[in-house]
Amino acid sequence: MVGAEPSRYAALTAHSRAAASPVVPRAGHSKRRQPHVRDPGAKPFLFVIALAGLAPWGRCAADEFDAVRAQVRRTLVRDALPSMAVAVAGGGEVLWEEGFGWADREGRVPATEHTLYPLASISKPITATALMVLRARGALDLDRPVNDSLGEARIRARVGDAAGATVRRVANHTSGLPNLYQTFYADEPDRPPAMDETIRRYGYLLSPPGERFHYSNLGYGLLGHVISRTSGMDYADFVRREVFLPLGMTRASVGIGPGLEPHRAILYGTDGRPLPAYETAHPAAADVWCSAHDLLRFGLFHLKAPPEDQRRILDDGAIDEMQRPTASMGRDRYGIGWVLGAGRDGSPAVRHGGGMAGAQAQLVLVPARKVAVVVLVNADDRRAVDELTQAILAVLLPEEPGARRPGPAPRGGASDAPPPDVSKLSGTWRGRVHTHRGLLSLVVRVKDPQDIHVRLGEQLETLLNEARCEDGVLTGVMQGDVGTPDASRRPYHLHLELRRRGEALCGSAAVISLPTSRGGAMEYWVDLRRE
């Protein structure tokens, strides 16, 4: 699914690898920095991301990234990856940009730092930047209901008040909107519906605005629609004119823009074969393509260290506002388009990842050190991207002697996890699943954690697998058919997430495509009452 951030969908992704390409070319420009003399008065900085403790950068030789280059080549062979592209800045200066492997295996086109890759969910901070441009011009109020900027198709509230779904809450994933991930391939007959139609099908609140963080591609699709309606321009045209061109991002586009076709990376599936071109139903959430070089320029702008040829499209206050945490997402927090963490000394760490069929991407910023790291790959291998990102950060921010490295977060296995407490939900719950094609009856019979049965419509009763109950929220996985054309485009399982609200048990039945398919996710409202 789009987006590499924590969610209940992430664990559903499985990977298989094809045989390694027999030749791994090294291509692209490599810019090495001169040895840096560290300021003896500089305070040590420790950055924590993905459980890695890192300290001040500065005592490095000119060939400091050679070990990382070797790691890239080993990774390409180990994981049978077609290519990777990296771009790195430290102290606000570009230090290293390079491509490795094949952007196009069959055509033997080597990857460079100027090759375009899909950014997937890194499209979100780009969309958020465009949103802030409109706000800076007085054309948009982040704290007004998003419905004020929509047309006839508007958000409805299944629970809570739709007026509370402000532009800001949509941007920080606390509006209550469901998630949505729909891909449309060139070799398939279906095409993305108009955004108004998508809103009619899925534009309803699953939880009251502000209650919780719930990652939503639909939300950012809506923001792209808001940008278009407010500016009077197509979303792609507005982002190109008001974000990409002023920042000097000439190899960046929503989709593949005219003239950029020869510079795109071919995307490869888990079987190692090229994927057909595709687009999503929510382009502002997922459809930006960009080179590593240009994404680094975007990162430098948000580090307040723009290259001399960049135009300031936002002032420092707007950049700070985007990086101010306003929503909790577990260990991290979310601002406006950015995932936010912190170093051990409290300094902020800013990032966003992205993942979709045939692509993974990562952008990490460390504002206190003006550090930016970009890693892009044209295959679905998040592990490789995370490992390489950490290796680069270890060079830029090496550990101080004697520094305490954090250990891994404790993980409870299935064998030692306490059984879910379903005693307060015991009994038979009856109600309906609401879809844009109609209503389906749903019966949930709760006896004990190993005996929760579900019947959807007239289908066979089935066991709710992987059942959990925490803080009055019942979750589990089941088989079933919700009967919508959107869902039937891919094989899927249903994931229930039902929350006790007074005398009701309500929430969502989420369609999650099987890992072997081309991906898809959508959520339908569920409302049950106990007999």
63 in Cβ contact with 32 (< 8 Å): yes
pTM of the model: 0.86
Looking at the structure, give the CATH architecture of the domain made up of residues 1-401.
3-Layer(aba) Sandwich (3.40)
Is residue 356 predicted with pLDDT exceeding 80?
yes
Helix residue ranges, H only, 217-266: 217-231, 235-239
H or E element, residue 463: strand 462-463
Is residue 46 predicted with pLDDT exceeding 50?
no
62 in Cβ contact with 35 (< 8 Å): yes
Identify the band that residue 473 occupies on the pLDDT scale cut at 50, 70 and 90.
very high
> What average pLDDT does this structure show over 479-496?
95
Please state, in angstroms and as integers, the Cα–Cα distance from residue 520 to each residue in 48, 342, 346, following that order: 32, 32, 37
φ/ψ (deg, to 5) at 347: -70, 145
Please state, in angstroms and as integers, the Cα–Cα distance from residue 163 to each residue in 176, 180, 210, 227, 286, following that order: 11, 21, 11, 19, 26
Is residue 50 predicted with pLDDT exceeding 50?
no
* 3-state secondary structure at position 513: strand
Cβ neighbours around 352 below 10 Å, total:
25
Q: Under 8 Å CB-to-CB from 378, ≥6 apart: which residues?
A: 81, 82, 83, 103, 111, 117, 265, 266, 267, 268, 358, 359
Q: Under 8 Å CB-to-CB from 70, ≥6 apart: which residues?
A: none
505 in Cβ contact with 444 (< 8 Å): yes
Average pLDDT, the chain: 86
How many CA atoms are closer than 13 Å to the CA of 336, on its beta-carbon side?
24
> What average pLDDT does this structure show over 507-522?
90
Comparing 23 with 265, the larger pLDDT belongs to 265
Where does CATH 3.40.710.10 sit in the chain? Answer: 1-401
> Considering only 32-41, 74-83, 165-174, which range has the smallest mean pLDDT?
32-41
484 in Cβ contact with 507 (< 8 Å): no
> What average pLDDT does this structure show over 506-530?
92
Q: What is the token pair recorded at 393?
A: 């950060």
Q: What is the largest CA-CA distance in the chain?
A: 73
Say which DSSP state 368 is in: G
Nearest-angstrom CA–CA distance, 136 and 309: 21
Identify the band that residue 35 occupies on the pLDDT scale cut at 50, 70 and 90.
very low
Residue entry with tokens 């209550």: 176
Per-residue model confidence (pLDDT) at position 348: 77
Is residue 316 predicted with pLDDT exceeding 70?
yes
For CA atoms 245, 246, 251, 255, give the dihedral sign. Answer: negative
- By C-alpha distance, which of 381, 383, 388 is closest to 364? 388
Residue entry with tokens 């007026």: 163
Nearest-angstrom CA–CA distance, 292 and 112: 8
Identify the band that residue 153 occupies on the pLDDT scale cut at 50, 70 and 90.
very high
Is residue 346 predicted with pLDDT exceeding 50?
no
Q: What is the token pair recorded at 90?
A: 């430290």
Per-residue model confidence (pLDDT) at position 517: 76
Please give the single-letter amino acid code of residue 49: I
> 423-530, what's its fold?
Lipocalin (2.40.128)
441 in Cβ contact with 457 (< 8 Å): yes
Identify the band that residue 87 occupies on the pLDDT scale cut at 50, 70 and 90.
very high
Nearest-angstrom CA–CA distance, 504 and 523: 18
> Considering only 207-221, 288-302, 460-474, which range has the smallest mean pLDDT?
460-474
73 in Cβ contact with 26 (< 8 Å): yes
For CA atoms 276, 289, 372, 131, give the dihedral sign. Answer: negative
- Helix (DSSP H) and strand (DSSP E) numbers for the chain: 11, 29
Nearest-angstrom CA–CA distance, 484 and 195: 18
pLDDT, tens digit (0-9, with 9 covering 90-100), for 178-202: 999 999 999 999 999 999 999 999 9
- By C-alpha distance, which of 346, 350, 347, 348 is closest to 362? 350
Identify the band that residue 516 occupies on the pLDDT scale cut at 50, 70 and 90.
confident
pLDDT, tens digit (0-9, with 9 covering 90-100), for 397-437: 876 544 444 444 433 344 455 556 677 888 999 999 999 99
Nearest-angstrom CA–CA distance, 413 and 416: 6
Helix residue ranges, H only, 44-122: 66-78
Say which DSSP state 248 is in: T
Say which DSSP state 268 is in: B
Nearest-angstrom CA–CA distance, 436 and 368: 48
Bridge pairing between strands 465-470 and 473-478 = antiparallel
- By C-alpha distance, which of 206, 210, 230 is closest to 218? 206
Per-residue model confidence (pLDDT) at position 242: 98
> Considering only 24-28, 83-87, 129-133, 399-403, which range has the smallest mean pLDDT?
24-28
Q: Under 8 Å CB-to-CB from 322, ≥6 apart: which residues?
A: 125, 128, 129, 132, 302, 335, 336, 337, 338
Please give the single-letter amino acid code of residue 499: R
> Considering only 146-150, 199-203, 369-373, 416-420, which range has the smallest mean pLDDT?
416-420
pLDDT, tens digit (0-9, with 9 covering 90-100), for 206-242: 999 999 999 999 999 999 999 999 999 999 999 999 9
